[in-house]
Chain A
Amino acid sequence: MLSYLSRRLMTMILTLLALSVVVFIVIQLPPGDFVTSYIASLSAAGESVDQETINALRDRYKLDSPVLVQYWAWISEILRGNFGYSFEMQLPVSEIFSQRIGISLAVELTAVVVMWAVSIPIGIYSAVNQYSMGDYFATIFGFLGLALPNFLFALVLMYICYNWFGVTITGLFSPEYMNARWSIDRFLDFASHVWAPILVISTAGAAQLVRVLRANLLDELNKPYVLTARAKGLPRRRLIWRYPVRVAMNPLVSTIGWVLPTVISSSFVTAIVLNLPTLSPILLRALLSQDMYLAGALIMFMGLLTLVGTLISDLLLAWIDPRIRLGMVGAT
């Protein structure tokens, strides 16, 4: 297990490195460097530009040096916890992070939990009762989750709530709790808002999970050992829960790897449509105004989050399934 862990950690570090290169390319892509765009935005706002500051910035990010040196300067600043400076918001990136990261993580993690809690029973039900009414509903739900883009779902939900129930479902807090300290009341207010984004984010992933689980479980249910156990008189319900479900869940654990990128991607779009105070609207604004340091740091962070999630899922899988831990299957 320990060697497996260290191997996985090594892969993750390498992946992070590759990710940082990609992000750096994204930062570098817009014409001009960020100091020139900084100057442009300042003079557009009618402010004078302090030559001293500019020189300090150019020096710090080694903007006059070759690209490799620039990359090194950027990555070493990040390793020291300095993610750069957002020119648009006039704040250090790390400060913007710390304001919003809690809410972002809370929404995303809740969505993942809800997604699993909903899709596992549905998947098991529709496999065990194949071609029943409920199974058809699950299939329709699955196809809708596949074809309905998150932002469209969010829009439709917004429209339905507004038009039929007179409720606006944007945001996560009522105005009076916006900047309040956490209390029971604020939490209740939060809970009364958070259902909409959770619903939107978890539907897409849940639809996929149901399909995967249903297919896996159907394969298992047709295997001889199920018939044997049944013939020996094991009650159906106990049999299903004890053997095939456990086997069918195995590949499901490994899907955390792709569930997380999906969740982060969809929460991204959803948060923008529903105007949530998470990191996503900030990233969109940063991208639209080419505030590339902020954008790069955010993309980097979202990638890191996904990689950590994948690592956890791999470790879980290795813990459950000894074949993977011992490298008997084509494990990564």
Chain B
Amino acid sequence: MPLTTPANSPDGRIGDVQDTPDVPAFEADPRIDHSHGTESQWQLIRRRFARHRLAVVSLWVLGAFVLVALFAGFVAPNDPGDVKARYTYAPPQALHFIDRSQDGWSFRPYVYGYSVEIEPEALRRTFVIDEEKKIYLSFFKRGWEYKLFGLIPTDIHLLAPERSRDPFYLFGADRLGRDMFSRLVYGTQISLSVGLVGVVMSLVLGVIIGGAAGYFGGWFDAATQRAIEFLRSLPTIPLWMGLAAAMPSDWSPLQTYFAITLILSFLGWTELARVVRGRFLALNGEDYVAAARYDGCSHFRVIVRHMVPAFTSHIITAASLAVPAMILAETALSFLGLGLQAPVISWGVLLQEAQNIRTLATAPWLLLPGAAIVISVLAMNFIGDGLRDAADPYAK
């Protein structure tokens, strides 16, 4: 490692120092500030992670998703539940920033309005983007009311039409004339949080069960190993669906939400448990763990003080790779009508609208939530990849 002076590495591996004879081992001098010469393990991890370009880019992308989810009401120009039958299946409008219409140009965002044509044979209304009509937009415009973070009532939106009755459909409208963009923004909230909450739940299960199995071994280890093998040998989707279908249909959206995340994590903890168990087994043989034990530390202290810090990064990696799987599972369940239900908006629920080939042919923009799924899942996988490479910064 050319970038770092091999000083006392934080996990107590002094071997590095002896292996590099050209740098003299030095004793820590209390008068000298070493903070620039020695980097902590987390600094090393960050440096390693930054080398994975794709992962860094993905981190920004995911950050954008999270911001959108947090400030959903602010980002969404329209109320996601607002039904406007006049604009059924209105196509997406392209956003323009530079207005050239009058003398010269000015920075003034606008979209083109619609004009309705009636097909002579089918007597069906179709929307055509009408370049004559310009709908000007303004930033931080007051519109429909929402609660920021579910607490602060406000009505300010990032970008909304100047006259609030004008149609503004960045991603088009659905069957009921609801704004797909606003719905997608709100779906991000639910879909991302299902992944996170689900992973936190399976992390708790996985760390407790896998940790106990790896630390104590014996019959408990054998039993959990069998249980994990069993769960992993099952086709997950049918089983998830079975459990999801058994939910009473009169449950509130919030109850369903937690039930779904519980079901997902109930079958998702196995991978995390395997990782944790593996790390515990590997560390059990380490001298410093044995030393701590002979020193009379309690089990709890050995685990929390001596073992957990050595593999936190591995757990984070495994967890970050488990989030996209959760999101995909929720999406599939909701898409099939067994997961979250209609008033709740998630990406899977949104895609339910796109099930029919005829609908798809008239309104292909209904597939846009799919793009959100693919982008976010890809980003999370890249981040997980980057973390996996960075998790053990001392490895070559």
**Are B360's CB and A162's CB within 8 A?**
yes
Do B235 and A302 have beta carbons less than 8 Å apart? Answer: yes
Q: Contacts A30-B248, A159-B364, A290-B246 given; 5 further ones with Cβ under 8 A? A: A30-B246, A147-B373, A260-B235, A295-B242, A303-B235
Nearest CB of B to A313, in Å: 11
B237 is an interface residue with CB less than 8 A from chain A: yes
Whether A163 pairs with B361 at a CB distance below 8 angstroms is yes
Contacts of A162 in B (CB 8 A): 357, 360-361
CA distance A149 to B370 in the complex (A): 9
Pick from A144, A148, A290, A299: contact of B238, CB under 8 Å: A299
Find residues 376-396 in chain B having any chain A CB closer than 8 Å to their own CB. 377-378, 381
Query: Does B354 lie within 8 Å of A261, measured CB to CB?
Result: no
Chain B residue numbers with a CB within 8 Å of A298 are 238
CA distance A144 to B375 in the complex (A): 10
- CB–CB A146/B381 < 8 A: yes
Give residues in B with beta carbon < 8 Å to A: 229-230, 232-239, 241-246, 248, 324, 328, 331-332, 335-338, 351, 354-355, 357, 360-361, 364, 367, 370, 373-374, 377-378, 381
A103 at the interface (CB under 8 A from B): no
Q: Which of A285-301 contact B (CB under 8 A)?
A: 287-288, 290, 292, 295-296, 298-299
Q: How many A-B residue pairs have CB under 8 A?
A: 127
Of the residues B235, B236, B336, B381, contact of A284 by C-beta under 8 Å:
B336
A307 touches B377 (CB 8 A): no
Least CB separation from A15: chain B residue:
B230
A287 and B245 in contact (CB under 8 A), knowing A143-B378, A146-B377, A163-B361?
Answer: yes
User: A155 is contacted by which of B232, B244, B370 (Cβ under 8 Å)?
Assistant: B370
Q: Which of A22, A144, A158, A296 makes the CB contact (< 8 A) with B360?
A: A158
The verdict on A310 contacting B355 (CB below 8 Å), with A147-B381, A155-B367, A296-B242 known, is: no
Please, how many angstroms separate the alpha-carbon atoms of A29 and B248 in the complex? 9
What secondary structure prevails in chain A residues at the interface with B?
A: helix
A interface residues (Cβ-Cβ under 8 A, vs B): 15, 18-19, 22-23, 26, 29-31, 143-144, 146-152, 155-156, 158-159, 162-163, 168, 170, 257-258, 260-261, 264-266, 268-269, 272-273, 283-284, 287-288, 290, 292, 295-296, 298-299, 302-303, 306-307, 310, 332
